[in-house]
Amino acid sequence: MTTSTVTVPAPSRTRQRAGTPDSRPARLRRRLAQWGFVAPAVVFMLLFFGYPLVRNVVMSFQHYTPRTFFTGAAPFNGLDNWSKVFQDALFGKALWHTLVFTVGSLLGQFGIGLALAVFFSRRFPLNGLMRSLILLPWLVPMVVSGIVWRRILDQDTGVLNSFLGALGLRGHTPWLTSPGMALLSTILVNIWIGIPFNMVILYGGLQEIPGELYEAASLDGASAWRTFRSVTLPVLKPVITVVLVLGFMSTVKILDLILALTDGGPADATQTLGTLTYQNSFVQLDFGAGAVVGDVLILVSAVFAVFYLRANRSEGK
């Protein structure tokens, strides 16, 4: 990085300021120019995040049909969409699947990610190289990962079943084709995808813990586990919160992976709020019903956002 060597003695600056007192219009022009830097981003974010949020809520009270896009007519229909969605047993199922999927994924990703972060905090040859390579699953497009796993988990010709069969274990497990197994399989794949992200952030957090803390603990004769529990975890807490919240946000709205693995099937066994929104809106072209499920997603995310901000504030950030 090129740190510039230009340094200016402070006095000349003040003299300059005093010499040309900013007139009001000049100051205003400068402020406007400064806002010019920020305004495009603000406008963009309002258009691509703020507006869709509001529009989605409005849409959930409108009647959309496949013909809407020709006629442009989407009349308001009160709570019709809502009662339609809530009366459908599929909504309850999707909500439950989302909960199970999110909790299961987070537990697995975080647990294994933390274990790997601790492991890679040791010093050993090739450590840095391995830490980079392990990121690969996270960098590959999620749809692609889903499709690769679809091949691996294939009941008859997938490598996982041949491997298990060779070990004399259940070699014909219908990972993705039985309604009882499919959700578990999607969770396992999502854990695999999420481990690198958790590991990298937690590893970063671990490196920031001052070594003196560990020295003090070892002087006190604390065991490794004790040190981890009483030194590492408390200091790591803000980072843990961030990892879990970001993990939650990206997991609860999952769509790509499930479409690639199971398309929500078999028999809706892996239908989540994300896929249900997609199905309602883009497959059945009932954007009103899709918007209702979307609203529920927004609500769930908002509750967690508040929870997160509270946690952040109490950390005194």
Partner 1 sequence: MTSPAPTTPRRRWGSTLAGVLILCVMLFPLYWMLDTALQPGSGLLQVDPVPGSLDLSGFTKALGDQGGHLLTSLAVALGAVAICLAISAPAAYGLARFGLRGSRTIVFGTLITQMVPGIVIANALYNSYVDLGLVNSYFGLMLADASLGIPFCIVLMRSFMVSIPGEVIEAAQLDGAGLVRTFVQVVLPMSRNSLITSGLFAFLFAWSDFMFALTLNTTDHVKPVTLGIYQYIGAHVGDWGSVMAASVLSAVPAALLLVLAQKYIAAGITGGSVK
From 34, 83, 87, 223, residue interacting with partner 1 (rule: CB under 8 A): 34
Q: How far is the CB of 230 from partner 1 (least distance, A)?
A: 21
Please tell me the distance from the alpha carbon of residue 231 to that of residue 122, in angstroms, as a whole number: 17
Q: Which listed range, 84-92, 100-108, 222-230, 282-290, lies at the site for partner 1 (CB under 8 A)? A: 282-290
Site residues for partner 1, window 87-146 (CB under 8 A)?
116, 119-120, 122-128, 130-137, 139-145
Query: Of 87-95, 96-104, 209-217, 289-297, which part binds partner 1 (CB under 8 A)?
Result: 289-297
Q: Does 23 bind partner 1 (CB under 8 A)?
A: no
C-beta closer to partner 1: residue 181 or 298 = 298
By rule CB under 8 A, what count of residues binds partner 1?
A: 100
Cα 288 to the center of its chain, rounded Å: 25
Residue list 241-280, contact with partner 1 (CB under 8 A): 242, 246, 249, 252-253, 255-256, 259-260, 274, 277-278
Instruction: In angstroms, give the least distance from the CB of 93 to partner 1.
Output: 18
> In sequence order, what are the beta bridge partners of 62?
76
CB 176 within 8 A of CB 185: yes
- Within 178-237, which residues bind partner 1 (CB under 8 A)? 192, 195-197, 200-201, 204-205
Quote the CA–CA distance of 265 and 272 in Å, as a whole number.
10
**Are 127 and 273 a contacting pair, CB within 8 Å?**
no
Query: Is 228 or 304 the residue whose CB approaches partner 1 more closely?
Result: 304
Q: Is 61 in the site for partner 1 (CB under 8 A)?
A: no
Rounded-to-integer distance, Cα 43 and Cα 258, Å:
33
Q: Report, in Å, the least distance between residue 117 CB and partner 1.
A: 12
Q: DSSP letter at 76?
A: B
Please state the three-class secondary structure of 185-253 as a single string.
Answer: HHHHHHHHHHHHHHHHHHHHHHHCCCHHHHHHHHHCCCCHHHHHHHHHHHHHHHHHHHHHHHHHHHHHC
Between 151 and 229, name the residue whose CB sits nearer to partner 1.
Answer: 151
Q: How far is the CB of 304 from partner 1 (least distance, A)?
A: 7
Instruction: Round to whole Å and give the CA distance between 104 and 71.
Output: 44
Residue whose CB is less far from partner 1, 100 or 152: 152
What's the one-letter identity of residue 7?
T
